[in-house]
């Protein structure tokens, strides 16, 4: 069997103020798989994501990316393998131009010259934003900034793409474009979202986190149709939304 893209083994974590944010979390994501991470506000989703590239370190347990354990020695290589897209694109885009922002990651990992140029073009192309290369990030629309933020991590050619609430604040058309972009990308994806129809459309599998515990893991349709589970963990579908109908269409 091939190495899983992401392996989280018995991970626990508490913030310095004593708040236990993660408890004994286990999660496996296979190569090329797209998994949705669901859960109410404060469940610990963002906290979990920050462990994936070593910004936070587990109190106990282990995180492996393509077989490599997150540790002080491996952290730079881990950051190359894990492309983390933050919730607010304004936190992610900090260079004066889009092109430079996309180049920031690969340049840190030692690319330069024509290779770097090509990498930037490839990443912007993947999110259909090639035309914005010389523009200033703060002049782009919110949806465009979101896509550029994704390009900034794609440029590093990560093993796994990790997105924190990628559809928040997007209008329906930008949301649709984002879904198309993400579905086209042939890499492993872990997506935190409150947008359940989005999760259903993008991710065949879903995991539910609540109060730092993994409380369910199944196909996304199964989870969204389990009314008891949904109620217990404050998950709600849009009015009259039928996951089965949606999934079969």
**Which residues in this chain contact ligand ATP in the complex, by CB under 6 A?**
15, 17, 19, 21, 39, 41-47
Structural tokens at position 226: 């389990």
In this complex, which beta carbon is closest to ligand ATP, that of residue 82 or of residue 123? 82
Tell me how far apart the alpha carbons of residues 37 and 47 are, in angstroms, rounded to a whole number.
12
Closest contact distance (angstroms) between CB of 113 and ligand ATP is 39
Closest CB to ligand ATP: residue number = 46
Closest contact distance (angstroms) between CB of 131 and other proteins is 16
State the binding partner of 43 from ligand ATP, Mg ion, other proteins, none, CB within 5 to 8 A by kind: ligand ATP
Strands 34-38 and 205-210: parallel
The answer to whether the CB of 201 falls within 8 A of the CB of 176 is no
Tell me how far apart the alpha carbons of residues 249 and 246 are, in angstroms, rounded to a whole number.
5
Tell me how far apart the alpha carbons of residues 178 and 238 are, in angstroms, rounded to a whole number.
20
Closest contact distance (angstroms) between CB of 60 and ligand ATP is 17
Closest contact distance (angstroms) between CB of 49 and Mg ion is 8
Tell me how far apart the alpha carbons of residues 40 and 129 are, in angstroms, rounded to a whole number.
32
State the binding partner of 44 from Mg ion, ligand ATP, other proteins, none, CB within 5 to 8 A by kind: ligand ATP
Q: What is the rounded end-to-end Cα distance, in angstroms, of the chain?
A: 32
Tell me how far apart the alpha carbons of residues 206 and 223 are, in angstroms, rounded to a whole number.
7
In this complex, which beta carbon is closest to other proteins, that of residue 50 or of residue 170? 50
In this complex, which beta carbon is closest to Mg ion, that of residue 46 or of residue 100? 46
Contact residues for Mg ion, defined by CB under 5 A: 46
């Amino acid at each position: 069997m091939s190495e899983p893209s992401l392996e989280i083994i018995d991970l626990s974590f508490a913030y310095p103020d004593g708040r236990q944010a993660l408890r004994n979390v286990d999660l496996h994501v296979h190569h090329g798989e797209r998994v949705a991470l669901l859960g109410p506000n404060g469940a610990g989703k963002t906290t979990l994501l920050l462990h994936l590239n070593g910004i936070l370190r587990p109190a106990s347990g282990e995180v492996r990316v393509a077989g490599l354990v997150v540790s002080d020695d491996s952290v730079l290589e881990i950051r190359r393998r894990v492309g983390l897209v933050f919730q607010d694109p304004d936190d992610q885009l900090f260079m004066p131009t889009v092109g430079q922002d996309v180049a920031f990651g690969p340049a840190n990992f030692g690319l330069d010259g024509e290779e770097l140029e090509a990498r930037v073009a490839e990443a912007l192309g993947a999110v259909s934003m090639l035309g914005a290369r010389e523009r200033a990030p703060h002049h782009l629309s919110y949806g465009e900034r979101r896509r550029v933020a994704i390009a900034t991590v794609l440029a590093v050619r990560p093993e796994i793409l990790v997105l924190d609430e990628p559809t928040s604040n997007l209008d329906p058309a930008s949301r649709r474009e984002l879904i198309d972009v993400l579905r086209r990308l042939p890499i492993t994806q872990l997506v935190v979202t409150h947008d359940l129809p989005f999760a259903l459309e993008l991710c065949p599998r879903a995991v539910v986190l609540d109060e730092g515990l993994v409380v369910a893991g199944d196909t996304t349709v199964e989870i969204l149709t389990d009314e008891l589970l949904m109620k217990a963990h404050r998950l709600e579908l849009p009015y009259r939304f039928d996951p089965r109908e949606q999934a079969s269409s």
